[in-house]
């Protein structure tokens, strides 16, 4: 999964222009360094360091007005310039960063790939296909699951269960990195308000609704226990 993600990531970088905004590029890298360190500490403390055994962190900002961000299996993180107005500050960037990295750390893309295989081929065939790493069918499913080119990371939405798990972990990661987890409520409220007009692509895979915001509020007290002062 990681090796194919790296191939897809390389293709994406060739097909999309990196931002020339030096200040915001550095902000993404700085927040990314703090969040990734927190992730490593959290997983090590819980005996889960194998979850990121093959991760090589990298943080990029692309020149696109689309409000979007994603993290591939393997720790490759991309922000689009268009999401920065919704983030507003470093804590807002940390909200998105923690959430997207949480998807990768929890291997949600693997489950998403399996679900796509099940839909396309049926249970027996999916089991057979996913058991052969180099098959053309597996590659096709991987491409659909993690996205290719300009659709990378947004081809298939995560389930609500995955979204809530990523929110929960993301709050912990950002708190451990020293950011205020309450900023997550502010960020998703801004995204919810944005959905009243032309809906950003990000919201097609990350619904910003009252239930999500309520669950974030419920999870914040636990996240605060991890907050670095």
How far apart, in whole angstroms, are the C-alpha atoms of residue 61 and residue 12? 12
How far apart, in whole angstroms, are the C-alpha atoms of residue 9 and residue 18? 13
Domain assignment present for residue 129? The answer is no
Residue with tokens 């996205």: 147
Domain assignment present for residue 113? The answer is no
Position with higher pLDDT, 65 vs 1? 65
CB burial of residue 54 (10 Å; 0-12, 13-18, 19+): middle
Domain assignment present for residue 163? The answer is yes
pLDDT at 154: 40
Q: Which domain holds residue 176?
A: 2-108+154-224
Report helix, strand and coil shares of the chain as percent, to nearest 5. Answer: 65, 5, 30
Position with higher pLDDT, 121 vs 170? 170
Which helix (H) or strand (E) segment holds residue 66: the answer is none
The one catalytic residue among 100, 163, 165, 183: 100
Is 58 among the catalytic positions? no
Tally of domains in the chain: 1
- Please, which pLDDT band fits residue 109 given cuts at 50, 70 and 90? low
Domain assignment present for residue 144? The answer is no
Give residue-wise pLDDT tens across range 159-194: 677 888 899 999 999 999 999 999 999 999 998 887
- Enumerate the H helices of 122-182 as residue ranges: 123-130, 136-146, 160-176
pLDDT at 116: 47
Domain assignment present for residue 139? The answer is no
Position with higher pLDDT, 94 vs 139? 94
pLDDT at 120: 46
**Mean pLDDT, range 114-135, rounded to an integer:** 47
Q: Which of 87, 119, 71, 103 is nearest to 184 (CA)?
A: 87
Domain assignment present for residue 164? The answer is yes
Q: What residues are paired with 72 via a beta bridge?
A: 76
């Amino acid at each position: 999964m990681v090796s194919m993600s790296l191939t897809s990531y390389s293709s994406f970088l060739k097909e999309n222009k990196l931002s020339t905004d030096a200040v915001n590029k550095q902000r993404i890298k700085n927040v990314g360094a703090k969040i990734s360190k927190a992730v490593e500490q959290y997983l090590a403390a819980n005996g889960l360091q194998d979850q990121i055994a093959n991760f090589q962190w990298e943080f990029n900002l692309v020149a696109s007005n689309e409000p979007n961000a994603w993290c591939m299996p393997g720790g490759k993180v991309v922000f689009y310039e268009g999401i920065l107005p919704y983030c507003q500050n470093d804590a807002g960037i940390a909200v998105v960063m923690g959430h997207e990295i949480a998807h990768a750390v929890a291997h949600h893309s693997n489950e998403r790939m399996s679900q796509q295989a099940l839909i396309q081929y049926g249970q027996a065939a999916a089991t057979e296909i996913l058991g052969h790493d180099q098959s053309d069918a597996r590659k096709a499913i991987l491409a659909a699951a993690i996205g290719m080119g300009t659709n990378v990371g947004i081809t298939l939405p995560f389930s609500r269960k995955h979204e809530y798990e990523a929110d929960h972990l993301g709050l912990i990661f950002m708190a451990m990195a020293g950011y205020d987890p309450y900023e997550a409520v502010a960020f998703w409220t801004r995204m919810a308000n944005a959905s009243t007009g032309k809906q950003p692509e990000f919201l097609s895979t990350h619904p910003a609704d009252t239930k999500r915001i309520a669950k974030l509020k419920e999870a914040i007290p636990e996240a605060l226990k991890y907050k670095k002062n």
